[in-house]
Amino acid sequence: IINVERPLFAHFKIPIANNIDPECPLGVSVFSKAIKTIRDLDEQYSRFIWEFKGGELAISATDDYFLHNSNGQIFLDDHEKRLYRVLETPTDNSNLFEVFSPAFRDTSLLNGFNAILRQIETQCGMSFGTLSNVQNVERTATETIHAKQEMYTTVNDIQKSLQTALENLI
């Protein structure tokens, strides 16, 4: 190839300052400012799932409430093993079975999850509701305009950077 003034490739860089390695000419990801917050979101999601797993209904009962196989062992299938638990025989015969049914904290955990999602949206230059549940956010008209402006600015800057890269490629 003769008379080539540029490389036969283009370099596209997200227009966000590389605060991880300022000397590197490469850019950073759109979510680079939110990495720690994304880890927090993962922890919050784990709590949310644990709440459902740990809060499943369970019934503890003495062994005479269960079916026994021919060897005298209690017979429970996998589903029943999650639901039923064998109690040691009570000494006073007052508690032959107990029901474990805790109240779920799903609303408060979900609100925390959405608050973290909104923080990620802010750190990544997105408007509220891009990732989070927009119905859980009460905002004034000014806040709505500001959030949409942040998203517009982010998208516009990325488009300009992509246009420069494509023009260099062509």
What pLDDT digit, counting tens, does each position of 89-116 carry?
655 655 666 777 777 788 888 899 999 9
- Bridge partners of residue 97, in order along the sequence: 61
Q: Does residue 36 have a pLDDT over 90?
A: yes
**Mean pLDDT for the stretch of residues 115-132:** 91
Distances in Å between the Cα of 69 and the Cα atoms of 58, 63, 72, 74, 79 are 22, 12, 5, 6, 17
Decide: pTM greater than 0.75.
no
Rounded CA separation 59/40 (Å): 34
**Mean pLDDT for the stretch of residues 67-76:** 79
